[in-house]
Structure 1
Amino acid sequence: MSQSDLDTDYDVIILGTGLTECILSGLLSVDGKKILHIDRQDHYGGEAASASLSQLFNKFKQKPMSDADREAKFGKDRDWNVDLIPKFLMANGELTNILVHTNVTSYLDFKQVSGSYVFKNGKIYKVPSNEMEAITSPLMGIFEKRRMKKFLEWISNYNDDDNSTHQGLDLDKNTMDEVFYKFGLGNATKEFIGHAMALWTNDDYIQEPARPTFERILLYCKSVAKYGKSPYLYPMYGLGELPQGFARLSAIYGGTYMLDTPIEEIMYTADDKFKSIKTKLGEFRAPVVIADPTYFPEKCKSTGKRVIRAICILEHSVPGTGDADSLQIIIPQSQVGRSNDIYIAVVSDSHNVCSKGRYIAIISTIVETDKPHIELEPALKLLGPIAEKFMGIAELFEPKEDGFKDNIFLSKSYDASSHFETTTDDVKDIYFRVTGHPLMLKTRELQE
């Protein structure tokens, strides 16, 4: 491809092919915008790519294994697609809605995650996925189960416009603590609801208005109800398929993609607004640029948080999960004397992400001490023998400004949460700032 083959003027230039950027590329292309999408790397996914085993060894190990030794131990490199940032999709969540409405689901196959587990008093327990499991679950005593049932009935029946469903509670005025008190729920149950269902990573939510927690629990319940077993879905061949699916959507609607294309210079207008970028293929102009934080480090700030992630290769299923081929384990912070939860996401060869008979378990949490590797010990102990382990720490960044001043709209780093809801919040926020209107999801006919 040469400069002469390419247009030089676009509606939006997008830098980086992380999931946030690729979703926006797809959505804006469908809206009729002319998109140029560039990545300095030679593969899709940015920080959230899926890597082969050889790439993992090269990225995380000072002395990578020889190809022959690695293949003898773990099988063929091409069988491995390991997520660098582990997350599951909520079956009823916003990312799933965007996938369905943009028809990106036609390029991807999903499998349901077999179960969700929570750590309590040194053991893991399955989070009940239906009423039968709830009745027999050892997580709660018989009276607490009744109170929990009443609480969940209130959640499912609550209607903003019908005071008779409120039971005297106001989601915008009452704190979650007051809601828990109303239903007489004990500390262990509160922890279970807040961390295993609402999926908060810490306890800050308890003193805040109840609505966000209410919405999260409702999302969890609806996601479980959709397919049973668990609220989570996972794409075959790994999360790296998601950015590629949206990139394909963008290309169908005329988007132009250039991988392996470093940015040589960013140009600005006289009043310091974004004007154009210069690459080896020439100069390209657009009134607006969307990018991940690595392209404009000077326009980003650290959130003050760092995430540690450990990618573990196992040659057996996780003990105590009934040979489940995929699962999530949540270790609530109070169970291990921390301020943030620890998450374990497990997938296996049944998702075409590793060689036969193997499992990938990825642990992630917010770093709290100057010995972050030790913080993962409670999670590592649950996995049994580990065949290989890769560890990395990432600082979390967010834009300093909203982008209106210079027409540079930046995404946030991927956090430690176990699902994509915060990522899709960022997508919707950037979409609104770039277009001036909220993202309205509606089914479209795909162009042939």
Structure 2
Amino acid sequence: MDELPVVVIGAGPIGLAAAAHLRERGLAPLVFERGDVAGAAISEWNHVRLFSRWSELVDPAARRLLEQKGWNSPDADTYPTGQQWRWLYLEPLAKALGDVVQFGTEVIGVARRGRDLVVDDGRNSEPLSIHLRRTDGTEARVFAQGVVDASGTWGTPNPLGGEGLPALGENAAGDVITYRVPDLDDEAVRARFAGKHTVIAGSGHSALTAMVALAALEAEGTRITWVVRRGSVGSAFGGGESDELPARGALGLRAKKAVDDGLLTVVAGFRTASVESAGDGQVSLISDGGHRVENVDNVVALTGFRPDLSWLSEIRLGLDPVLQAPTQLAPLIDPNVHSCGTVYPHGAKELRHPEPGVYLAGMKSYGRAPTFLAMTGYEQVRSIAAEFAGDHEAAARVELILPETGVCGGAGVFDEPDTAESEGGCCATPAPQLISLSGRAGSANSCG
């Protein structure tokens, strides 16, 4: 077993960091990436600027490997776009790792050699079997002592529908609905939104980014409606100046200013039940309560992501029934109860599954929970690599302090007022101003 590689799934920032840590520990990583480039998912949001600085986006083991190759680090205090993160860091890192990174290779299944999910006998003595499909259609199988699934959740966005399933008519309205932040620097995309009525659904950082971007088109006659499921929108703006990631706090302040300036209409308490054609390429959104948002040209649904677990069906996973995150990690990140923005740094212990040698890392480890930071993933894979190397002391050691958001309250709260609003907050943050709403769409609630 020890002579077999550790397979890493995904050549994004967490997957490549895992490979760097494994290599530094004297283990043999083997990275499989479905896309053709490092950070293939990031290439779909090249235009978005991160709210983490370069100093928080470069993994320590990856830095050491890159510096051996003569890499020059970008200015630590600047904020890259997704494209810059890829070009200046991920692509050089994949090159430094060499042939261990295989592009155009999709993992379509993971199992124990010769055993399906039900079989106990001999399970722990057999290697993991990874089934692959390459872009030319050929299939292969490789054996491994362990698997680090860092494939992320980008490919499985949550639907617009308020029940976790697509709303009635949502799939049929695919030409109107996008699940990504629009790139308004693309002239064709800009023309799609300028002068039109767009609904933004969601209350996370992606939704705030879209709000700020689209609000800049207000002078061109663009109308924006922001629909949220929660009972109010106050804590959705974050901690502002109390956020220990300044750019993240600034994003929330800019979004709040756009609302305060009347650049968009806020409709809270709106859980989309159906999408109806309104003719002329427009749609209407109807909530569970029968409220309607009419004459909609575009919908930007930014309601979070979820993990794709379909190709792990023959692996014994220990997942929380609510978040689909590892059972020991879930209580630390549950948005129904988690508050004040800081997740305790965690590693191999919290990410362990009943199937030995299998770890979900990075955004996928969070299941359906929001607000994942690259720093968290780097700490996860540092610990996992130490565990594979038999250095249990290092695996258990905490080597990270995460920045606080400066805001309290769980994203799972729907109809009750946000803690930050009703009690003035618990993180010394001024209570956000409550937005008064009017119109046909009804009153308040948010898309977590």
TM-score by length of 2: 0.40
In terms of fraction of residues, the more helix-rich structure is: 1
In terms of fraction of residues, the more strand-rich structure is: 1
TM-score by length of 1: 0.40
> Relative contact order (C-alpha < 8 Å, sep 6+): which is higher?
1
